Amino acid sequence: MMNDPRYSGIGMTSARTRERLVQRLREQGITNLTVLDRVRNVPRHIFVDEALASRAYEDTALPIGFGQTISQPYIVARMTEALLEGGRLGKVLEIGTGCGYQTAVLAPLVGRIFTVERIEGLQQRAKARLRELQIRNVRFRHGDGSQGWKSQAPFDGILVAAAPLSVPEALIEQLAIGGRMIVPVGPEGQQQLVRITRREQGVERRVLGLVAFVPLVSGQT
């Protein structure tokens, strides 16, 4: 598949351009080689509008329509790395599928992903792209992710790509004992990326740093 020019890229989407992005992420402290490999190999340019393809390997968020953005590669790498730290993950819940880029980066590194998006148009496009990339261990759902995906719980990992003001109780309840959740928390302008680990007696909380995400919105469109 990587020999298909549509995925391997040319010019601003070429292997050399991607390698520069990987180098930059290394300099910013991403050390997990499997994660860096996914950044190198997932064709981010097919997840953005064609007009923006030449900017797909810049370390920046880009518009994906419906007032939403594809996350910055550094953030995707950081969240993936933080989620994977601590051992293999079977079932993972992702909230905020967006264009599906984060899903594509994570999919081969875990057992299965259950991903929820509240904007149906984005969900449909993400589904089509992942099918195109022959990623098959993902189930999609259109709905309000703050309620999680109860029938599939418990999850070994939960990754939230939009920021709630406080971590929804439903998500903590759907985390397996020993499972971990990576979630940006707080109002716009002062969000912190937090790792929550569920223990027999309550949860452990660790702040990973400052971030900027779109808010987690309740209800679906």
Catalytic residue annotation: 71
**Gap between the Cα atoms of 54 and 70, Å rounded:** 15
Interface with ligand SAH (CB under 6 A), residue from 46, 48, 119, 167: 119
Interface with ligand SAH (CB under 6 A), residue from 95, 113, 193, 211: 95
**Amino acid in position 42:** V
Look at residue 37 and give its three-state secondary structure.
Answer: helix
Beta-bridge partner residues of 205: 196
Interface with ligand SAH (CB under 6 A), residue from 144, 181, 195, 196: 144
**Gap between the Cα atoms of 206 and 182, Å rounded:** 10
List Cα–Cα distances, 166 to 115, 148, 157, 184, in angstroms: 20, 15, 18, 9
Look at residue 64 and give its three-state secondary structure.
Answer: strand
Residue 205 CB contacts under 8 Å (≥ 6 apart), including other chains:
194, 195, 196
Q: Binding pattern to ligand SAH, positions 69-88, x when CB under 6 A?
A: xxx-----------------
**Gap between the Cα atoms of 186 and 23, Å rounded:** 31
Dihedral sign (CA 48, 53, 58, 62): negative
Stretch that binds ligand SAH, among 9-17, 81-89, 110-118, 184-192 (CB under 6 A): 110-118
Stretch that binds ligand SAH, among 32-40, 94-102, 169-177, 181-189 (CB under 6 A): 94-102
Between residues 5 and 124, which has the closer beta carbon with respect to ligand SAH?
124
Between residues 51 and 201, which has the closer beta carbon with respect to ligand SAH?
51
Asked if 217 touches ligand SAH (CB under 6 A), the answer is yes
Asked if 45 touches ligand SAH (CB under 6 A), the answer is no
Interface with ligand SAH (CB under 6 A), residue from 77, 106, 110, 162: 162
Eight-state DSSP code of residue 215: B
Asked if 96 touches ligand SAH (CB under 6 A), the answer is yes
Asked if 161 touches ligand SAH (CB under 6 A), the answer is yes
Eight-state DSSP code of residue 175: E
Stretch that binds ligand SAH, among 6-14, 32-40, 98-106, 200-208 (CB under 6 A): 98-106
Q: State the DSSP H helix or E strand holding residue 84, giving kind and residue range, or none if neither.
A: helix 73-84
Interface residue list for ligand SAH (CB under 6 A):
68-71, 95-96, 98-99, 101-102, 116-119, 122, 144-146, 161-162, 214, 216-218
